[in-house]
Amino acid sequence: MIRVLLVDDQDLVRLGLRTLLETEDGFDVAGEAADGLAAVERAVSTVPDVILMDIRMPGIDGIEATRRIAARPELAATRIIVLTTFERDEYIVDALRAGASGFLLKDTSPAALLDAIRTVADGGALLAPSVTRTLIAEFVAERPRARSPHPRLGDLTARETEVVGLVAEGLSNQEIAERLVLSPATARTHVSRAMIKLGARDRAQLVVFAFQSGLA
């Protein structure tokens, strides 16, 4: 059973999400919150598997709420999906930096939303290669490239460093394997080891670390 916390300042949106989840097997609504502060409080009290987090809310916004939740040791296993109205929302990169595992548009189909929740609950990142490339293009076009290398960047092997750069380019494990002439299993192992060494919560955060370290 995947326990989901719903965070949105619009009652109708929360109602729609609750109705969808309650009619599907394998999901349970852990609770609701209408603002960022309440989201942090509810996350601590319910310890959900996944949080669907709106960005623009009264009080503290979804980005700050995500940052506070991601910083809590007792919520280390909780994954956050940011909900946004526009694909090129200026806050997406900030949300990923804060600890979100990915993002969805609010007009995402019900089936895609459910699949996304399952993916994130299983430890995956909600960043398909095409979405990653879009994010990268916007990041490069609109943001200064101020480098801040990860303090454990030197712990990576040369191959792991190369793989992290390819992840940041938006390549899937299969595409990385083809590029480097490796087996998909070996490519996946390199990605996993890089995530462990850099302390990345998931693939999404690995992309952020790559940008900050100048690997992309």
Query: Per-residue pLDDT for 147 more than 70?
Result: no
**pTM for the whole thing?**
0.71
Is the CB of residue 117 less than 8 Å from the CB of residue 142?
Answer: no
Is the CB of residue 89 less than 8 Å from the CB of residue 81?
Answer: no
- Here the contacts of 80-89 (C-beta below 8 Å, separation 24 or greater) are 80/50, 80/51, 80/53, 81/50, 81/51, 81/52, 81/53, 81/116, 81/117, 81/120, 81/126, 82/53, 82/54, 82/55, 83/8, 83/52, 83/53, 83/54, 83/55, 84/55, 87/134, 88/134, 88/138, 89/55
Q: Which of 39-43, 90-94, 125-129 is predicted least confidently?
A: 125-129
Exposure on the CB side of residue 28, measured as CA atoms within 13 A: 8
Provide the pLDDT for residue 15: 96
CATH numeric code, 146-212: 1.10.10.10
Superfamily for 2-126? Response regulator (3.40.50.2300)
Is the CB of residue 143 less than 8 Å from the CB of residue 94?
Answer: no
User: Who wins on pLDDT, 107 or 165?
Assistant: 165
Highest mean pLDDT among 58-67, 115-124, 205-214: 58-67
Query: Per-residue pLDDT for 88 more than 60?
Result: no
For 186-195, write each residue's pLDDT tens digit: 999 999 999 8
- Start-end ranges of CATH 3.40.50.2300 in the chain? 2-126
Query: Per-residue pLDDT for 86 more than 80?
Result: no
Rounded to whole angstroms, how far apart are CA atoms 24 and 27? 6
pLDDT average, residue stretch 192-216: 83
- Start-end ranges of CATH 1.10.10.10 in the chain? 146-212
Is the CB of residue 104 less than 8 Å from the CB of residue 90?
Answer: no
Distances (CA, A) of 196 to 68, 98, 200, 206, 209: 21, 18, 6, 10, 13
Provide the pLDDT for residue 23: 92
